[in-house]
Amino acid sequence: MARNEGTVDRVVRVGVGVAALVGAFAVGISTGGGIALAVVAALGLVTGATGFCPLYRVLGMSTRPARTDV
């Protein structure tokens, strides 16, 4: 799977993921809100770490700059 996220996109996703995880524990990880925040956190952290977003692929999008040195 080819990366389709730029650096800024990845940093924002990881930041949102960490904030959502903190929020999940703050409201109670076993509550409905906590579970929803944990899911958001997992998605943000995984997509930010891998640089690949499946939804971007479906929509034909990419925030990764095109290489011009090749």
Q: How many whole angstroms separate alpha carbon 9 and alpha carbon 48?
A: 8
pLDDT of residue 68: 72
pLDDT of residue 28: 95
pLDDT of residue 70: 61
Residue 67, in any domain of the structure: no
Residue 65, in any domain of the structure: no
Q: How many whole angstroms separate alpha carbon 66 and alpha carbon 16?
A: 25
Residue 3, in any domain of the structure: no
Contact of 49 with 14, CB cutoff 8 Å:
yes
What DSSP line would sit under 9-37, residue for residue? HHHHHHHHHHHHHHHHHHH-TTSHHHHHH
> CA torsion 63→46→55→52, rounded to 10°?
50
Task: Kindly report the pTM of this predicted structure.
Answer: 0.85
Total domains, the chain: 1
Residue 35, in any domain of the structure: yes
Average pLDDT for residues 37-65, to the nearest whole number? 95
